Amino acid sequence: MTDLYAVEPFGAAFHESTGRPHNVRVALALKAAAERLPVDFIPGEYMPNAASIGPDSGVWYTFGSGFAVDEGKLWRNEEKFPELAQDLEAIREDVRQYNTGALLAERKDKYMEKIAASGACWGGGWAGHANPDYDRLLSLGTSGIRDLIRTYRAANPAEGDFYDGCDIVMDALDILGARFLKLAEEREAAAGSAEEKAIYEKLAAAFRIIPQNPAPDMCAAVCLFWMVFTFDGIDSPGRLDQFFLPAWERTEHDEAVFWLDRLWQAFHRTRTWNLCISGSDENWNDMTNAVTWAVLDLAEKYRYQTPNITMRVHRNTPEALWKRAAEVLSTGIGMPALYNDEVMCPALEKMGIPPVHSHLYCMNGCNQVDIMGKSHMGLEDGEVNFGKCLEYALWDGFDTMRGEQLSIHTGNAAAFTSFDELTEALNRQVDYITDVSTSLSICSQMTYAATAPSPLRSCLLEGCLERGRDYKNGGPLYGDGQVLSEGMPDCVDSLAAIKKFVFDEGRYTMAELLDALKANFEGHEEMLAVLKTAPKFGNDDPYVDSIMKDLSDHWFAYLKTKHTFRGGTFAGGCSTFSRAANNGRVCPALPNGHLRGDPMFADCIGAVPGQDVCGPTAAVKSALTYDQTEVTSGFVFQLRFDKAVFGTEKGMASFVHLAKAYFAGGGQQLSVNVLSADELKEAQTHPERYGDLIVRVGGYSDYFVRLSRDLQDNVIARTSY
């Protein structure tokens, strides 16, 4: 008789524990996965891979997507193991009650979902990234964490079920450690070379100590981190140079570099997300250390597109580190992205986060902001497409792309007699679409909190054990939200064109403009040519930059009136990921010359691609129009430099001066592409020759040839300095 646990360990344990508290059922299912799913040291990499989802699992659970049922795999398992068909069907029916995607579809307001489907916004949908406290894991081990569980259980006796789940996932980690010890000893005995034998001997020695006890050296620290990181589902390491430093300092240099190098290969293989280095403490002391430099060396050595490296800078960042960052950027990998503590920390402090914690910020995903080991806020909660908001302001809430009334009525734009009337209508549309986005997000947050607990992360985020509350249910110290702006430069360029040629100069009436937009400018080519001459954001022109300031100030302030279910406040950001082209595709003709469905759209807070024609200093000055201390998510500003110029000593020094000036003026983030336009065009024609060409997209780096044609065109269209 086939063992049900061998086929569906997570599902079997979850179903068998019916009637027990939900978080305990999840913990028991994770423990079964730790006992039964395959574990392995990847040959040549030696990292201890520990998945919580089997390759043939038909039911599963992840930190970001909750519960899911893969019907295809379940049917295949039923066909392969007919004697288990009845048990598998029972598991299916049980887990279906908690299928997160289905629950979200059922609970979200259908009308709001219809608006989101138009491309005007989105909200919620997944539980997001996080940065667990790996320092707690490495310095305490599971035994030390069990001590914390006991301490806080005594302080919160009514939350016994919560602490039971936490205890059980510590059992799961101990089980994994024992399995890896056994595997390391077996590999050591069977090693075909003295070198391989020595490595497995070290691994066995490490797993005789971890995970129960603190990691004594880099081998043990890397192994403990990676075992938990993969079992948790692979997310973002966060401030890796800080939590690895104690083990690094206890390890001989070449040995430490060896294990960090092995980890680097694992990061690349798994497409690990965001790794943060350097930064300041609350007293502005620089936190750069030996691991910081080693990370930059590896980035330059291998030139991978992952992990996504972020480097924090501030008033006391060493000049040598600035120079090293420029050298790594000159390779063309688009990393490290630079973040400014002088703006990011005050922005977080405006949200009520004290300096002792604001200076612990890091990134995850593309560039969402988290407080390392203390928050559940580093996720994209939603998005607002300002191009669609302008469409609704111009057409009284009517969606011209879908042919139906979707948004609120804000007046007949043909009858507007002043620019103020138009901006008032736009602000009302922006507020309404923001309400839709945050409402959808809150529904998602509530669904995850009720149905998809995370006992493992609850052990590794401050506040959860202390309060006796799950990671997704207000446990962490901070639970703010992050909503992204998209197409704000396209919207502002359009407003500038209307202001100049309709209300200031009277060259066209609003009715004439609307007729041209409705016709997608067919038969109105002369008007299109004139509109394109309007001032464009990104060129240090006060005419258009002042419009951006008014619009962004309004949105940032309005967002902060909205509160998350997690116990925080929403705030803004801008990170398109790979969505820029689709954001343009869902928009009709706009007054800046955007044609109906054109995928060319702003991919950051800077100019619409190709419209910043006055040089990098002007582009930087326009970007400083935003009050970036109001922004607590990644606020991506991308610049592209010609490879031949940037790669010189003078070019890199000039870039450092420019970056410092931007940050001194109030800039939060800077991403850089160092590319050749000719090379990019050649790569479109002959992708087989450019498989290793990396570009910075909308907050992350990727291989150019893997991008859609629309995104490739977007990257090529960016102005090169």
Check: CB of residue 629 under 8 Å from CB of residue 554: no
Check: CB of residue 669 under 8 Å from CB of residue 610: no
Using DSSP, state whether 59 is helix, strand or coil. strand
Percent of the chain at pLDDT exceeding 90: 84
Distance (Å, rounded) from C-alpha 291 to C-alpha 298? 10
Q: In which domain, by residue range, is 596 found?
A: 382-633
Where helices occur in 8-66 by DSSP H, the ranges are 9-16, 22-36
Which of 2-16, 154-168, 640-654 is the most confident on average? 154-168
The pLDDT of residue 321? 98
pLDDT digits (tens, 9 = 90+) for 544-595: 999 999 999 999 999 999 999 999 999 999 988 778 889 999 999 999 999 9
Distance (Å, rounded) from C-alpha 694 to C-alpha 682? 14
Distance (Å, rounded) from C-alpha 541 to C-alpha 534? 11
The strand ranges marked E within 498-580 are: 570-574
Averaged pLDDT of the chain: 94
Locus of tokens 């004439």 = 512
**618 falls within a domain:** yes
Mean pLDDT of 11-32: 97
The pLDDT of residue 112? 97
| Neighbour tally for 556: CB within 10 Å | 20
Locus of tokens 């050298």 = 327
Q: How confident is the model at residue 679 (pLDDT cuts 50, 70, 90)?
A: confident
Mean pLDDT of 47-51: 95
68-82, 452-466, 536-550: lowest mean pLDDT where?
A: 68-82
Distance (Å, rounded) from C-alpha 130 to C-alpha 27? 19
DSSP at 645: H
Where helices occur in 452-541 by DSSP H, the ranges are 455-458, 464-467, 488-498, 510-518, 525-531
The pLDDT of residue 718? 66
Q: Work out how many domains the chain is built from and give that number.
A: 1
229-243, 320-334, 404-418, 680-694: lowest mean pLDDT where?
A: 680-694
363-367, 449-453, 502-506: lowest mean pLDDT where?
A: 363-367
Distance (Å, rounded) from C-alpha 528 to C-alpha 15? 63
Structure-block tokens of residue 621: 């000055």
**516 falls within a domain:** yes
Distance (Å, rounded) from C-alpha 659 to C-alpha 603? 19
**689 falls within a domain:** no
* pTM for the full predicted model: 0.94
Gyration radius from the chain CA atoms: 26
The pLDDT of residue 701? 72
**235 falls within a domain:** no
Check: CB of residue 380 under 8 Å from CB of residue 128: yes
Tell which residue, 541, 511, 622, has the closest CA to residue 533.
541
Using DSSP, state whether 571 is helix, strand or coil. strand
CB-hemisphere CA count at 13 Å for 238?
Answer: 25
Mean pLDDT of 625-653: 92
The strand ranges marked E within 216-336 are: 274-278, 308-313
**564 falls within a domain:** yes
The pLDDT of residue 327? 97
Mean pLDDT of 173-199: 97
Burial of 524 (0-12, 13-18, 19+ CB in 10 A): buried
Distance (Å, rounded) from C-alpha 341 to C-alpha 337? 13
Mean pLDDT of 52-72: 89
**304 falls within a domain:** no
Phi, psi of 692 (to 5 degrees): -105, 10
**540 falls within a domain:** yes
Q: Check pLDDT > 60 for residue 59.
A: yes
Distances (CA, A) of 18 to 29, 60, 668, 701: 11, 16, 49, 44
Give how far the C-alpha of residue 301 lies from the chain's centroid of Cα atoms, to the nearest Å: 25
Q: How confident is the model at residue 690 (pLDDT cuts 50, 70, 90)?
A: low
**332 falls within a domain:** no
In this structure, the strands spanning 638-642 and 308-313 are: unpaired
